[in-house]
Structure 1
Amino acid sequence: MKLLILGAGATGGYFGGHLAKAGVDVTFLVRAKRREQLAREGLRIESPAGKSVLRVNAITRDEIASPYDAVIVSCKAYDLDGAIDAITPAIGETSLVLPLLNGMKHLDTLDQAFGQSRVLGGLCHISVTLADDGTIRQLGQLATLTLGARLDTQKPAASKLHQTLARGIDAILPADIIAAMWEKWFFIAALASSTCLMRAPVGDIVRADRGAAFMTALLNECSAIASTNGYPPLPQTLDFARTFLTDRDSDLSASMLRDIKRGSPIEADQIVGDIIRRGRARGMATPLLDIAYLHLLAYENNRAASKNG
């Protein structure tokens, strides 16, 4: 299959680089500056397994000459409109769009742009960052990409794409991709809400008076929303989440908190606001999530005012 990956940043660059290394037909859609850097220095990846410098195919939007079999989208939610504009020339009648964004809100946007029949479900588990010099650094061992059909008619094409991805990366094809997306979403909503609200990693929160109870109550809100929407977390997933979010020694926090500390844009509505709406639509109260979301919206308002002032 002929693959196009939007961007050569942390996530797209990591997975795309490993696919290219395995001989998969991969092209990166990038801005002119990044294209020049890749041509000059190669795609550089550092991981616990070692360092790689790869020569990869990279193009800009005006160089898209024909449709691709699949386009992988790993941007942040606040860049989605720009991403849609960038990849539109690469979408043909049988092209697949594989988004790796967190949450669910982006699916409606992509369906409207390209038609539901083209848009798969997807997610990834990876801790990776893009350094100022363009190097992609993997921060842990875990690096999986999960994809799947949202419609029965997509299953053959999704299976073919999975086989292609599995040549170079740890690719997972679950029976129910929406359930898999909820399994990740309820957890990261709790992690982002708690660590951003408290501006602290998990352990610092848990060691505070009533900290563990707060973390558990917030996780329960998120789990209840997933359940009432028809996707209760698997028992082992819920056990892992509770253990993770009540670990007194944990120094981990959500990537959203790192974005806040840098003064960067955040996915407040995509990850927290939308899960609240899906809970309220089912008549649920979400008091802790509401407070966390208010905190995130206040940050976004302050950031916007600072930029305009």
Structure 2
Amino acid sequence: MGAGAVGGFLGYHLARAGRDVTFLVRPERAQLLKERGLVLRSAGGESQISPQTVSAPQIGGSYDIVLLAVKAYALEKAIEDLGPAVGPETAILPVLNGIRHMDTLQAHFGREHVLGGVCVVVSQLEKDGAIRQLLPGASLSYGSLDGIHDKRLDRVDATLRGAGFDTELSGSIELDMWEKWVFLAAGGALTTLLRGTAGEITRVSGGLSTAQAVIRECVHIAAAAGFAPRRAALDRVESTLLQPGSGFATSMYRDLMQGQDVEADQILGDLLERAELLGVDAPLITAAFAGLSMYMAAKSTETGREGTH
């Protein structure tokens, strides 16, 4: 579900590898894909496929795997549309940011249907509907939240392996998800608070120390919740956000600079709610979230004004 920067990227590669892939998309996106195909641009050039698509009213039965790749703020509508596609043996693999969506999906479809998932790819949806991979490399990890390894999980693994991106059937998927959350929250809070890439921020006076403090806040919250990041995950966060000259910026920052909706509540707001319950102080994340909340409020007000013309 979703043919944007993440869903389009994964589905493109799965279809190219011969998997039976259908994209659940809105009618206007379906029409664009019919006219132009699903286009992927990368350092290696441009290529495309002619994808199978379906809109929600056209779903005629259940699917083996639902790869859920929508923005977190679109989850409620996605759940409504997905209902007819989920049968007794369906595995739902969400690759949304944060953790909150897991509780929502399990409450609606049942814990037995929902896998944990982590996707790492740097891509964006361009104005003409194409997907651009901004940096090489992509990976998808997945696993059972209760640690039970069954035949359905083997089928999921067999379907996703060998399709043009790295895969891992993980025995610690919940910790994997928290580690990605720490990475996204630290990067998102830093780049949106100070309005720059990681390299631009660390170049200015106070930038490096601010970046270090943001990382500490995220790590302290995760540790208090029982999911302290492993050394390799911490090294990735620090090498990305503290490296001089790094051009790294999160999708949240790119969305902000392009005037799009941002996943502030799902990535930062939810983390702050957990911090409060756990008694962890996070002033920099709080400041970043407040700034993004003001941005979203202003955006909503502007949309309302446009609707009154």
Shorter-chain TM-score range? over 0.9
Matches for 1:122-141 after TM superposition, within 5 Å? 122-141=117-136
Is the Cα–Cα contact under 8 Å of residues 117 and 154 in structure 1 kept in the other structure? Answer: no
Give the superposition deviation at 1:50. Answer: 3.4
Which AA in structure 2 matches 1:239?
D
Choose the corresponding residue for 1:293, options 273, 289, 306.
289
Is 1:29 the counterpart of 2:29? The answer is: no
Matches for 1:100-249 after TM superposition, within 5 Å? 100-153=95-148, 155-168=150-163, 169-249=165-245
SS of 1:67's equivalent in the other structure is coil
Q: Please name the residue that 1:61 is paired with.
A: 56
Cα distance in structure 2, aligned partners of 1:154 and 1:270: 29
**Would the alpha carbon gap of residues 233 and 43 (structure 1) be closer, same or farther in structure 2, given more than 3 Å must change?**
same
Choose the corresponding residue for 1:303, options 293, 299, 307.
299
Cα distance in structure 2, aligned partners of 1:304 and 1:32: 25
Structure 1: gaps (5+ residues): 1-5
Which AA in structure 2 matches 1:164?
T
Q: Please name the residue that 2:41 is paired with.
A: 46
Q: Relative to structure 2, which stretch is displaced further, 247-256 or 97-106? A: 247-256
Give the superposition deviation at 1:153. Answer: 4.4
Cα distance in structure 1, aligned partners of 2:177 and 2:51: 30
SS of 1:10's equivalent in the other structure is coil
Give the TM-score of the pair, scaled to structure 2.
Answer: 0.94
Give the superposition deviation at 1:34. Answer: 2.0
Q: Please name the residue that 1:3 is paired with.
A: none
SS of 1:92's equivalent in the other structure is coil
SS of 2:217's equivalent in the other structure is helix
Cα distance in structure 1, aligned partners of 2:137 and 2:188: 19
* CA deviations over 1:45-88 (Å, ceiling 9, x no partner): 12233332212211111221110011011111111111111111
Cα distance in structure 1, aligned partners of 2:198 and 2:187: 8
Matches for 1:247-258 after TM superposition, within 5 Å? 247-258=243-254
Q: Relative to structure 2, which stretch is displaced further, 150-159 or 272-281? A: 150-159
SS of 1:147's equivalent in the other structure is strand
Q: Relative to structure 2, which stretch is displaced further, 101-110 or 35-44? A: 35-44
* CA deviations over 1:160-203 (Å, ceiling 9, x no partner): 20111003132211111001001111111010001101111112
Is the Cα–Cα contact under 8 Å of residues 149 and 155 in structure 1 kept in the other structure? Answer: no
Give the superposition deviation at 1:265. Answer: 0.9
Cα distance in structure 2, aligned partners of 1:66 and 1:150: 26
Structure 2: gaps (5+ residues): none
**Would the alpha carbon gap of residues 291 and 212 (structure 1) be closer, same or farther in structure 2, given more than 3 Å must change?**
same
* CA deviations over 1:97-139 (Å, ceiling 9, x no partner): 1110011011111112111111111121001112222211111
Aligned residues: 304
For the aligned residue pairs, the C-alpha RMSD in angstroms reads 1.4
Is 1:274 the counterpart of 2:270? The answer is: yes
Which AA in structure 1 matches 2:4?
G
Which AA in structure 2 matches 1:296?
L
SS of 1:23's equivalent in the other structure is coil
Is the Cα–Cα contact under 8 Å of residues 32 and 60 in structure 1 kept in the other structure? Answer: yes
Which AA in structure 2 matches 1:182?
W
Give the TM-score of the pair, scaled to structure 1.
Answer: 0.94
* CA deviations over 1:6-29 (Å, ceiling 9, x no partner): 122221111111111111111111
Cα distance in structure 1, aligned partners of 2:73 and 2:231: 32
SS of 2:21's equivalent in the other structure is strand
Cα distance in structure 2, aligned partners of 1:283 and 1:77: 26
% same residue: 38
Is the Cα–Cα contact under 8 Å of residues 147 and 171 in structure 2 kept in the other structure? Answer: no
SS of 1:134's equivalent in the other structure is coil
Q: Relative to structure 2, which stretch is displaced further, 251-260 or 99-108? A: 251-260
SS of 2:6's equivalent in the other structure is helix
Q: Relative to structure 2, which stretch is displaced further, 126-135 or 30-39? A: 30-39
Choose the corresponding residue for 1:75, options 67, 70, 77.
70
